[in-house]
Amino acid sequence: MSYNPEELRNLIGNIPQDSDYRPKLIKKYESMVLGKGGDDLTSLTLCAGLIPNENSVVLLQDSLGIIPRTGQQRSLETKIRDINRHAFFGIAGYPYFANELSERMYGQDFDNEEEFKRFIKKSYNDLHLEKVMDEFLLYFFNDRDYFKGLFEANKLPPALDAEYKARINDAAGERPDIMVISNISKPVIYKVGVGTIKPEYNVMERLSTGSASAPFETFMGEQKYRLNRTGKLKLSTLEGIETLLRVADPTSRATSTIGPPFDIVYVERVPKADAGLYEVEQYDFNAVRLDKVKLEEVRRAIREEPDVSSKVLCSWLEMVKDSKVTKNDLKKVIRKKINFKDSD
């Protein structure tokens, strides 16, 4: 549940004065109304998924963390977590919750998309509720049965009842959005939050989250319009990666809250050439995390020469995929086409 500033202000007035949750709500209110930030590493980020065709799904995430009050930037190794051979997830929010969620989800494999959808929603919300109870039960000396009895009898003091419901609804906005890409029976993107899960199944559609989501959507709309004018109804996996890079780069220049290098992962299903008519498994699956260092060379080339052709870019991305190709090998090929100064 999301709160507007007036609802949040009224909620703060109903929370106990000595509650440790009250400052978090005030911080959220100030962020909404006054644009003030906090001291923690926050959700200043971009996480975006794209379904380029009926067999693949791609996820892009920036690597930058910023402390708003100081403006200090931190480069994070990765914000994208592995789940299984069919799925990854990225985050927009505090990473600590996502780290715990990753421990619960990692290695859990499913053959059915609906079962996987229920699993990620339940995993997220179970962890959220456990954290709420761990924090809230301090009022009741960690006596869960005592709290449960008061709650079920509707005998919680009004101020504590208000706080409990605020925590359940994540009024302070502590929980991150996570963006899951999955490819079990078809490519899917899921945007997951407290009590919510939004799926996207359609080819050439995307979902995004994070502080840079709005400018990303603007640039993506422009890019999609250009593709539509050329008659492109779907893209290859590499063209999908190219599209995300072409959009992420101007997005990073339009806002100071995200920055390169970008992480890109994808899950692709490839029809088996020798699959029999009655074979259950008709596809091989490739879950791939691209080399971020080599990918950064391609992004820098796009920034230097935005009009470089899709054919050329995809040939460079093929080199990014190839583990035998080094960064220097790729740089030499790019420099033959585009001459720009190294940053290292």
Classified as helix, coil or strand, 260 is coil
In a domain, 164, yes or no: no
In a domain, 62, yes or no: yes
**Band of pLDDT at residue 1, cut at 50, 70 and 90:** low
Average pLDDT, the chain: 88
In a domain, 138, yes or no: no
Whether the pLDDT of residue 149 is over 60: the answer is yes
pLDDT of residue 70: 52
Q: What is the pLDDT of residues 195-226, one digit of tens each?
A: 999 999 999 999 999 888 999 999 999 999 99
In a domain, 158, yes or no: no
Q: What is the pLDDT of residues 247-299, one digit of tens each?
A: 999 998 888 778 888 999 999 998 877 655 555 567 888 999 999 999 999 99
pLDDT of residue 126: 97
CATH code: domain of residue 284: 3.60.20.10
- How many domains would you assign to the chain? 1
Q: Could you give the angle at the alpha carbon of 281 between the alpha carbons of 279 and 286, nearest 5°?
A: 150
Angle, helices 292-304/237-254, rounded to nearest 10 degrees: 70
In a domain, 278, yes or no: yes
Residue-number span of the structural domain to which 310 is assigned:
52-129+172-337
Q: How far apart are CA 81 and CA 72, in angstroms?
A: 24
> What DSSP letter does each residue of 22-85 carry, written as one string?
HHHHHHHHHHHHT----SS------EEEEEEETTEEEEEE--EEEETTTTEEEE-S-S-EEEET
In a domain, 180, yes or no: yes
Task: Among 28-32, 38-42, 107-111, 130-134, name the one with the lowest average pLDDT.
Answer: 38-42
In a domain, 45, yes or no: no
